[in-house]
Structure 1
Amino acid sequence: MWQQRCWLQGLAYLVIIGLLGGCVSTSANEQPLEITFGASISITGKTAKEGEYVRDGYQFFVDTLNAQGGILIGGQRYQLRLRYYDDESNLERTAELYEKLINHDQVDFLLGPYGSDATSVAVAIAEKYHIPLVSGHGSASSIYANNYHYIFSVQTPARHYLNGVIDALLAADPSLKTLALLSETDSFSQDVAQGVRDYAQQRGLNVIYHGDYPSDARDVSHHLNIIKQLQPDMLLGAGHLQEALLIVKQAKSLDVTPKAIGLSVGPLLPQFRANLQHDADYILGPTQWTPALDYHGDDVWQTPAAFAQAFRQQYPQYKSVPYQVAESAASLIVFQRAFERAGTIDRLAVRDTIKGLKLATFFGPIQFDEQGVNSAKPMAVEQLYPDGQKYTVFPQAVAEQSLLYPMPAWSQR
């Protein structure tokens, strides 16, 4: 009897070991859990360079988190994947690709493309399929005009883009009274321009000229000739890289020399300096982020300087880190924290969790208002110096260098 009992106990032990062994073997053969993010990105076309920064910022976050084991969600580890296509800087192509990402690739969540108009297209599709989309690169108010429920934007709204430039110049010279404004006709630039008009009035400035030009403009000399005659204290431009280059080149050729020039997008991109060389000196550019800012976050990088250093280690071809890179990474921090706090990747639960987030990040504070706009983060200002570098000059508390003012005449450089 005793022998039979021992035999049965031994058999039971072998069965348990076999079952455990089978479980371990099956677990080892299982595919790791994954979360796939989808985006269309401008790899070619007008905004190809900005699109390159967008892509590299997304991929840097994905690579960094995966190297640390992924994200722990509800007790399970998930690896991250990025799926993107080239939208060729074309809005129709953007729409097609987000449909493809959802219906063919079956991505789990969406990230934004580059530009406000493209983001507006993507947001409508995200709403259609009830998939949360976190945008890092579309800040025009028109994106949020339809009371959508699945869009969240980490960057400062477009209407505040040039406020910091105005503040920096008035801090340097409170006697400034007039400005001229040039703006591209796309939604982002028009939003920036409206913000300039509103804020100029608040600060006691008079907008003595406002001229619009079409996207892909080849000539703004008509506007600049008028501005030359009016002699404003400052010239501000709301547009993108190619138009920013055009404005500076033609301002020089026509000898338009206000006390300062500030342009919404372009001056801080490497191509601006590469194209203009020393003609880029003294130009001011607003920025969503710089490595010099004094932010302290609970993300993996914690500070702007640490993020910049880590990014350049992985992408040594970058001499500096554009703010578009940081925007991309910040977009994914939002998803990371939402997953962790919700304890699930259920889309509705993730969306509702994002609504209530209040984050301190290397990118700055992130907190969303009822429209999904980050209402917590200010802009900074950088200036291109004659030494070939660009420096944060505003806010003054974190300035790397003093603002060079006034801008010398073209003939005196």
Structure 2
Amino acid sequence: MFKPSTKTAVTTAAAIAFVAAAALPHAAFAADVLRIGAPLALTGGLADEGKKQEAVWQLWLDKLNAAGGVKVGDKTMKVEIIKYDYQTDGKRAGQLAEKLITDDKVDFLTAPFGSGHTKIIAAVTERYQVPLLACVASSESVYDQSFKYLFGTLAPNSGMTDAMAALYKEKLPTLKKVAIYGRDDVFPKSMATSMATSAKAAGIEVVYNELYAVGTMDHSAAISAIKSTGADWIYMTGYTQDLILGRKQLNDLGVKAPIVTMVTGPAYREFTDGLGDLADGVTSSTWWHHATAYTGAAGVWPSTEAFYKDFTAAFKSDPDYVHASCAAAADVLVNAVQKAGGTDKAKVRDALEATDMLTFYGPIKFGPNHMNLGRDMPIIQVQGKDIKVLYPASIANAEMKLIK
């Protein structure tokens, strides 16, 4: 069962550190403790996403340490996660990453939610040559900087958009026009760009393609412009609250289309809870769904089912791709430490580069740019109060419904 950490320490500008570890004296500097640093957005605009990372890492940590820790060579190590709230401030994220390395003496770091903030932290870890595991950064622009110490468990964005354009053309043969509206931020912007490229390649005309500023609180002007295009498909990118507002304003302004896609809205329970009936019919794409059935996995959970069982028992809700990818990233890091025979940063980096393993989340093998090699990623749709998987066929459990 997940229990919030109780140790706290106040740092600069009210950032709070929560240390979660076995009850060892001076655990933060013990030689037999594997220390992982985690700058997280626990307040501010990305707090919903950051709290998901915090919760699933605590679940993973409790299970790992309850089993005795990690066997590394001839010793067993407990694991400690030192977490700071960077308050959804990119500059603060970089500062706290450096603090974790220089003051807290962590062995490795995990990255926070989003490609933009991951990129900031990657610049810090690269300078100090500390391996960094990113579990919610999928924009190729983060990985094209020749970072040697950054590794990501998500696959590239383009795999999602190509499949989506092909599927929607199949389900709606009359599909001719798409309107694309994206948040001007690293991940949402890259998804909008990728979607425009995929749509054009599929013979779909892009009749609207604009970005909105971070913090935009009114989309009515853009939505009115989209309405005038007569688009068959509306594709909006952003984060949960952006997309909830966008869907409400589409309804308020009477804008309808047979296909409405919001990336990655329906992947989050907050989206469907926040919209109620207005969420029905909205499609999206994601990197993972608990309907996948991986077995014989390495790590804390031997199967998707085992992870799902523990998660739902702890939180009384379904996990999404953020939970799964981040828990799997922790498994990958521990596996690399075991392969390296210790916490030597260069050896662990080399072990990460050679990773080829099956986790409950799926296969993880890092490509030349250190992103997880592409695989078929689920396309999902809200149908009633449920999330249904439309693609790939191997895990699909519903047919796509058009919005009337």
Q: CA deviation at 1:397?
A: 2.5
1:214 and 2:213 aligned:
yes
Q: 1:151 to 1:349 in 2, by over 3 A?
A: same
Q: Aligned equivalents of 2:294 and 2:317: distance in 1?
A: 22
Kindly tell me: are residues 171 and 398 of structure 1, through their superposed partners in 2, closer, same or farther at Cα, counting changes over 3 Å? farther
Q: Cα offset for 1:160?
A: 3.5
Does the CA-based 8 Å contact 1:282-1:385 persist in structure 2? yes
CA distance in 2, matches of 1:171, 1:344: 51
Kept in 2, the 8 Å contact 1:164–1:380? The answer is no
Query: Do residues 298 (structure 1) and 294 (structure 2) align?
Result: no
State whether residues 160 and 192 of structure 1, in contact with CA within 8 Å, keep that contact through their aligned partners in structure 2. Answer: no
Deviations 1:67-90 (A, max 9, x none): 222111112111111110111111
Query: After alignment, is 240-249 or 295-304 more displaced?
Result: 295-304
Question: In the alignment, which of 364, 367, 374 is matched to residue 366 of structure 1?
Answer: 364
CA RMSD of aligned residues (A): 1.6
Cα distance in 2 for residues equivalent to 1:374 and 1:297: 19
2:341 to 343, 356, 377: 343
Secondary structure of residue in 2 paired with 1:337: helix
* 1:225-249 Cα deviation digits (max 9, x unpaired): 1221211111111211111112101
Q: Counterpart of 2:309 in structure 1: which amino acid?
A: Q
- 2:399 equivalent to 1:407: no
2:310 aligned residue: 310
Amino acid at match of 1:272: F
Contact 1:53 1:322 in 2 (8 A): no
CA distance in 1 between partners of 2:73 and 2:392 (Å): 41
CA separation of 1:297 and 1:137: change in aligned 2, threshold 3 A: farther
Assess if the C-alpha contact under 8 Å between 1:112 and 1:119 holds in 2: yes
Number of the residue aligned with 1:271:
270
Query: Could you say what secondary structure the match of 1:69 adopts?
Result: coil
CA shift digits 1:120-170 (9 cap, x unpaired):
111001001100001001122221232111000001223444444334323
- Give the CA deviation at 1:32: 7.6
Deviation per CA, 1:312-342, whole angstroms, max 9, x where unpaired?
22x23x4211211111111111112212222
Supply the distance in 2 between the matched residues of 1:142 and 1:256 (Cα, whole angstroms).
Answer: 33
Matched residue count: 374
Deviation of 1:192 (Å): 0.7
Displacement of 1:274: 2.0
Higher helix share: 1
Contact 2:159 2:374 in 1 (8 A): no
Residue 349 of structure 1 deviates from its aligned partner by 0.5
**What amino acid is the match of 2:304?**
P
Q: Match of 1:248, SS?
A: helix
Deviates more, 1:389-398 or 1:281-290: 389-398
Identity %, equivalent residues: 28
CA shift, 1:297, in A, is 4.6
The one-letter code sitting in structure 2 at the alignment partner of 1:309 is K
1:158 to 2:154 alignment: no
Structure 1 residues 326 and 250: alpha-carbon distance in aligned structure 2, compared to 1, 3 A threshold: same
Q: What amino acid sits opposite 1:119 in the alignment?
A: T
Matched, 1:394 2:391: yes
Aligned to 2:54: 55
